[in-house]
């Protein structure tokens, strides 16, 4: 009997149950004073973190990828593994979530499609509910509850709105209660952009951490600033030593540090989690960083290091991509999709993954990259009339790589035919791309052993926010387009070191 696993909405909790991508174990503790720990080296921006039992859980912006809101799990804050997805279907571009616990239930608030949504679960690992539309505009929600049980949702530009007791609807009108912290006029920033309100209660005071300065643009633009108040609605007093986190010089290894959340770890120790771009590697997107902070005698917080010196930078390889023969019962958690509304358009059967394509744009399966240099291969079998390829995916209109249609091999640049000669290769089924120092070299093969180099390569360092917008990143992916189906098999991935590959 033919074995068939439909990756539909109803089966998502089963299909994406098995965790994958655990980083190598380490016994080195978080940097106590001298630097920062980069815990997710791929594009995992706008981090939000909670602790439950022995584990920490974290989620991030997930754009319009399906499934969305990937949840990471860790016991020590250094070694993270993928634990599952909270969002089962597309509701548009998902940005800057807030992961919180209230009572015995877990909530993730997030903006998408001009409104705000919430999903709930009895455990950080699910099962998660369908998304509920809160029917309110604004971005970057931040949840807080007052001692009287009232719940509030802070948003960008200093606004707040009361929530219903169950947290699933709005109970009042938005009101502006915070104006932010005014940095010196001489600072090079992208915009004022008061965003990312994240709140907590500590020793009788409410603390509000916000982002300012813009997310990208100048490398010294972004920052995390701190304020506090005795009342959940203010008035808010700004920290006299702001900003709490900031990139002071474009010579630092990580630029645009910002969008921070304070949280308490084990043994009462305090930390801040935030995102930043790696200097020289903007195409990899905004990476997740954790570092210690210390409560001060006057009731504020400051980083354990000198706030104007980045100090030691330690990177932890948790964003691991695994080879995949698509022979298992479930799809690896490294994979997400763009161009589809739900997972009913994808099936895992007979040792391969098949995507039902369309003519209204590409259908793409992709994985977020965490490595500078790598090589990847895949076997693609498109039906007649279907265009397919192995690509570096930035978004649905911007990608680069090697493609195949009706027996001809070609390359794409910025989502369009590159203008290079099409190569007749009717038996080509295997494709390989190599990224080394942002030079993209492409190959094709009939058997996956004997490779032919495509005669034209590309340079893709410009595939990043400051050049293209969209706040996206390079991802390894495959795509299909046209009336028909695309069969995907035999994905391999290997990291290249800093030496030029053979």
Domains and CATH numbers, the chain: 33-315 (2.115.10.20), 336-495 (2.60.120.200)
What pLDDT score was predicted for residue 345?
87
What pLDDT score was predicted for residue 24?
38
Based on the number of CB atoms within 10 Å of its own CB, is 307 exposed (0-12), middle (13-18) or buried (19 or more)? middle
Return the number of other C-beta atoms located less than 10 Å from residue 103's C-beta.
10
Q: Record the pTM.
A: 0.93
Cα end-to-end span (Å), the chain: 45
The residues near 87 (Cβ < 8 Å, ≥ 6 apart) are 62, 67, 68, 69, 94, 119, 128, 131
Residue 245, φ and ψ in degrees, nearest 5: -135, 135
What pLDDT score was predicted for residue 344?
84
Residue 184, φ and ψ in degrees, nearest 5: -60, 140
Residue whose pair of structure tokens reads 């902070």 in the numeric block: 293
How far apart, in whole angstroms, are the C-alpha atoms of residue 48 and residue 367?
Answer: 21
Return the number of other C-beta atoms located less than 10 Å from residue 341's C-beta.
13
Question: Which 3 state secondary structure label does DSSP give 88?
Answer: coil
What pLDDT score was predicted for residue 23?
39
How far apart, in whole angstroms, are the C-alpha atoms of residue 291 and residue 54?
Answer: 19
Q: Are 355 and 365 in contact (CB under 8 A)?
A: yes
493, β-bridge pairs: 376
What pLDDT score was predicted for residue 266?
84
Residue whose pair of structure tokens reads 């990291």 in the numeric block: 495
State the chain's maximal CA–CA distance in angstroms: 72
376, β-bridge pairs: 433, 493
With a cut of 50, list the residues of the chain below it in pLDDT: 1-28, 32
Q: Is residue 235 reached through a cis peptide bond, with omega within 30 degrees of 0 on the bond before it?
A: yes
Based on the number of CB atoms within 10 Å of its own CB, is 314 exposed (0-12), middle (13-18) or buried (19 or more)? middle
How far apart, in whole angstroms, are the C-alpha atoms of residue 116 and residue 26?
Answer: 38
In tens, the pLDDT along 50-64 reads: 999 999 999 999 999
In tens, the pLDDT along 200-222 reads: 999 999 999 999 999 999 999 99
What pLDDT score was predicted for residue 499?
66
């Amino acid at each position: 009997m033919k074995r068939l696993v439909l990756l539909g909405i109803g089966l998502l909790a089963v299909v994406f149950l098995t965790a994958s991508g655990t980083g190598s174990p380490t016994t080195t503790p978080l940097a106590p004073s001298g630097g920062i720990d980069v815990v997710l080296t791929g594009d995992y921006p706008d981090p939000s973190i909670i602790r439950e039992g022995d584990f920490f859980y974290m989620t991030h912006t997930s754009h319009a990828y399906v499934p969305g809101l990937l949840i990471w799990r860790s016991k020590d804050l250094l070694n993270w593994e993928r634990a599952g997805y909270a969002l089962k279907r597309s509701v548009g571009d998902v940005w800057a979530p807030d992961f919180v616990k209230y009572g015995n239930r877990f909530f993730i608030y997030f903006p998408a499609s001009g409104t705000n949504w919430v999903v709930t679960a009895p455990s950080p690992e699910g099962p998660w509910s369908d998304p509920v539309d809160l029917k309110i505009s604004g971005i970057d929600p931040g949840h807080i509850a007052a001692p009287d049980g009232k719940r509030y949702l802070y948003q960008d530009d200093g606004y707040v709105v009361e929530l219903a007791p169950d947290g699933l609807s709005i109970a009042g009108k938005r009101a502006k209660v915070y104006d932010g912290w005014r940095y010196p006029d001489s600072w090079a920033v992208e915009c004022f952009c008061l965003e990312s309100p994240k709140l907590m209660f500590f020793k009788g005071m409410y603390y509000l951490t916000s982002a300012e300065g813009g997310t990208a643009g100048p490398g010294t633009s972004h920052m995390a600033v701190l304020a506090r108040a005795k009342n959940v609605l203010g008035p808010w007093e700004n920290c006299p030593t702001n900003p709490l986190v900031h990139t002071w010089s474009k010579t630092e290894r990580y630029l645009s540090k910002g969008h921070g959340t304070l949280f308490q770890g084990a043994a009462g120790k305090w930390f801040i989690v935030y995102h930043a771009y790696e200097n020289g590697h903007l195409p990899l997107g905004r990476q997740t960083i954790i570092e210690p902070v210390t409560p001060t005698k006057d009731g504020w917080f400051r980083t354990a290091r000198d706030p104007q010196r980045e100090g030691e930078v330690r990177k932890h390889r948790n964003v691991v991509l695994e080879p995949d023969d698509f022979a298992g019962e479930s799809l690896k958690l490294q994979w997400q999709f763009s161009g589809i509304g739900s997972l009913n358009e994808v099936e895992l059967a007979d040792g391969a993954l098949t995507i039902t394509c369309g003519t209204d744009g590409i259908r793409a399966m992709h994985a977020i990259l965490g490595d500078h240099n790598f090589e990847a291969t895949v076997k693609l079998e498109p039906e007649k009339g279907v265009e397919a390829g192995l690509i570096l995916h930035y978004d649905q209109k911007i990608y680069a790589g090697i493609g195949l249609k009706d027996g001809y091999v070609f390359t794409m640049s910025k989502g369009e035919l590159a203008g290079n000669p099409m190569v007749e290769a009717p038996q080509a089924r295997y494709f390989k791309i190599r990224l080394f120092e942002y030079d993209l070299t492409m190959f094709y093969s009939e058997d996956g052993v004997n490779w032919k180099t495509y005669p034209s390569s590309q340079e893709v360092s410009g595939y990043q926010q400051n050049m293209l917008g969209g706040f996206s990143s390079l991802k390894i992916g495959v795509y299909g387009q046209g009336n028909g189906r695309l069969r995907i098999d035999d994905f391999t991935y290997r990291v290249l070191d800093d030496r030029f590959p053979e």
